[in-house]
Amino acid sequence: MDFLHIILLTVTEAAIVLFEFVGVSVLIVSGIYGIYSYIRRDPLARLNLCKGMAMALEFKLGGEILRTVVVHDFSELLIVGATIVLRAALAFLIHWGIKNEESIDPHGEH
């Protein structure tokens, strides 16, 4: 049984690192593309940046949810839980921003 527990912990830790890495990578690429779009005065620059941030946050949130598997005590659980709540709130705000940006056409009209 200890062998299965070790495998679970190893796979979970690897998945957490992978999700965190992908989330950060998506955020960096989205940010660079956002700067490029802003310089080119692309009317969809803000929308595309919001979508990239939302995708990055989803990966980061997935990593935090996986982190609940390897929590050892209640204080760690509180920290992970607070992080999940904050990231979920950020995701809600970003999706709200995306919805607002999509309701405005590229020329700024409703």
- The whole-number pLDDT of residue 42 equals 95
Structure confidence by residue, pLDDT tens digits, 27-38: 999 999 999 999
Domain ranges of the chain: 2-103
Structure confidence by residue, pLDDT tens digits, 11-61: 999 999 999 999 999 999 999 999 999 999 999 999 999 999 999 999 999
Segment (H or E) for 25: helix 2-39
Exposed e or buried b per residue across 52-61, where buried means at least 16 C-beta atoms within 10 angstroms of its C-beta: bbbbbbbbbb
Note the pTM of the prediction, 2 decimals: 0.82
- The whole-number pLDDT of residue 47 equals 92
